[in-house]
Amino acid sequence: MADNELPATEHDDRGAGPATREDPVVGTSQATPREKGQDPATSNTPAAGTASSGAGVKRPGDRVFEALSTISAALITVIIIAVGLFLLVQAFDPLRLNKENFLTYGGQWQTANLENMQFGIPNLFFTTVTVSVIALIIAMPVALGIAIFLSNYAPKQLVRPLATLVDMLAAVPSIVYGLWGAQVLGPKLSGLYKWIHSWGGDFVLFKQYANSPSFDTGRNMLTGGIVLAIMILPVIAATAREIFVQTPPGQIESALALGATRWEVIRMTVLPFGLSGFIAGSMLGLGRALGETMALYMVVSPGPEFRGSLFDGGSTFATAIANASAEFNNPTSAGAYIAAGLVLFLLTFIVNSIARAIVNKK
């Protein structure tokens, strides 16, 4: 072999080298970012001083907000449970001393004599439900019409003022509604009540009993239902409107493209989409109607029993408790009305749960 020849196992640095450079780790090769066609400035190599993974890292502000939200939700739950336990504990002794069945006794309440306590809720329950149902029957169609008009027919420049005007009805104190219903609405409706009684007086809903309130005053369950309808109208209308305006625009545009009229679009797209929201809003309004006190206290004449007539007086759960406030100096006597409050609490809770279930189903 000549002296100027290199061994066969070595490469000349001036000649053609291998396609890749050998990595310091034996048996592996690594191409540079430029050889891969990447810009070194945009390579995915983590920058110095930064964490390789930022997932799960929370800022201090996020942690504070999360803690406050959790505490608020837990506080509301604790308050509701505490109210329920308070009502249950305070009602236990009066229910134990009650000589009658709390769920079936419909006579006069006797709570002053602790040795012979007699009280029950049927009259309160049926009066409360009757007045609330009257309010729903009147308020639901009107609220539906308002929601449809504001979401589909009203000019854009009038939507906000009209919606604000409807919402302002919810800001009026209930005692103002009570004064208006007792002093203005009831007497103004006396002629209508007399006319209805003249042709339907034999029907149970329009009977006039000897101790029923006078038509001239109009302090009956029908007037109470009308006042309640005005009070719950903003709740139902606002809830339904917020759902109607969220109808997918694609559905509305498709219906219009097929030649549907404005009413057909509402009937085929808006109403089916917002039906559950409208019903849920109605249930929320019913929850308010069940617990209304001052307005019904002033509008509906108190009655000892429920006889099924809309022209009769009566006592709801809330008004019965308000009327008996003079007996609250005795814890046991007050406990009888707290037991009625417990039933009202459960009834309202059930109604609101139904509303939530309807929304979740949708």
Place of tokens 């029957």: 137
Q: Which of 338, 334, 163, 349 has the alpha carbon at shortest distance from 245?
A: 163
Q: What is the predicted pLDDT for the residue at 362?
A: 56
Per-residue pLDDT of the chain (362 residues; tens, 9 = 90+): 444 444 444 444 444 444 444 444 444 444 454 444 455 444 444 444 444 444 567 788 888 899 999 999 999 999 999 999 999 999 998 999 899 899 998 888 888 888 888 999 999 999 999 999 999 999 999 999 999 999 889 888 888 899 888 888 888 899 999 999 999 999 999 999 999 988 877 788 888 888 888 888 889 999 999 999 999 999 999 989 988 999 998 888 888 888 888 889 999 999 999 888 898 889 888 888 888 899 999 999 988 789 889 999 999 999 999 888 877 888 888 899 999 999 999 998 888 888 888 777 75
Secondary structure element (H or E) that encloses residue 286, with its range: helix 271-291
Q: Are 283 and 351 in contact (CB under 8 A)?
A: yes
Within 10 A of 194 (CB to CB), how many other CB atoms are there? 14
CATH class of 123-324+346-361: mainly alpha
Specify the pLDDT at position 27.
43
Contact predicate 226/311, CB 8 Å: no
For residue 335, give every residue at least 6 positions away whose Cβ sits within 8 Å of its Cβ, in sequence order, or none: 90, 91, 92, 93, 94, 95
DSSP 138-181: HHHHHHHHHHHIIIIIS-HHHHHHHHHHHHHGGGS-HHHHHHHI
Q: How much is the pLDDT for 23?
A: 46
Contacts of 188 (CB under 8 A, 6+ apart): 218
Please check whether residue 181 is in contact with residue 300, taking contact to mean a CB–CB distance below 8 angstroms: no
**Is the alpha carbon torsion for 184, 189, 191, 197 positive or negative?**
negative
- Domain boundaries in the chain? 123-324+346-361
User: Which value, to the nearest 10 degrees, does the dihedral of the CA atoms of residues 344, 346, 351, 357 take?
Assistant: 170
Output the pLDDT for position 56: 66
Tell me what pLDDT residue 55 has: 53
Q: Give the C-alpha separation, 86 to 83, whole Å.
A: 5
Distance, CA of 154 to CA of 8 (rounded, Å): 93
**Exposed, middle or buried: residue 256 (CB in 10 Å: 0-12, 13-18, 19+)?**
middle
**What is the C-alpha separation between 344 and 351, in angstroms, rounded?**
11
Residue 204: how many other CB atoms lie within 10 Å:
10
Q: End-to-end distance of the chain based on CA atoms, in angstroms?
A: 92
Under 8 Å between Cβ of 40 and 33: yes
Distant-in-sequence contacts of 105-108, Cβ < 8 A, 24+ apart: 106/305, 106/306, 107/305, 108/304
**Cα separations in angstroms, 280 against 99, 137, 268:** 40, 15, 20
Please report the pLDDT score of residue 296 as a whole number: 93
φ/ψ of 29, rounded to 5, equals -135, 150
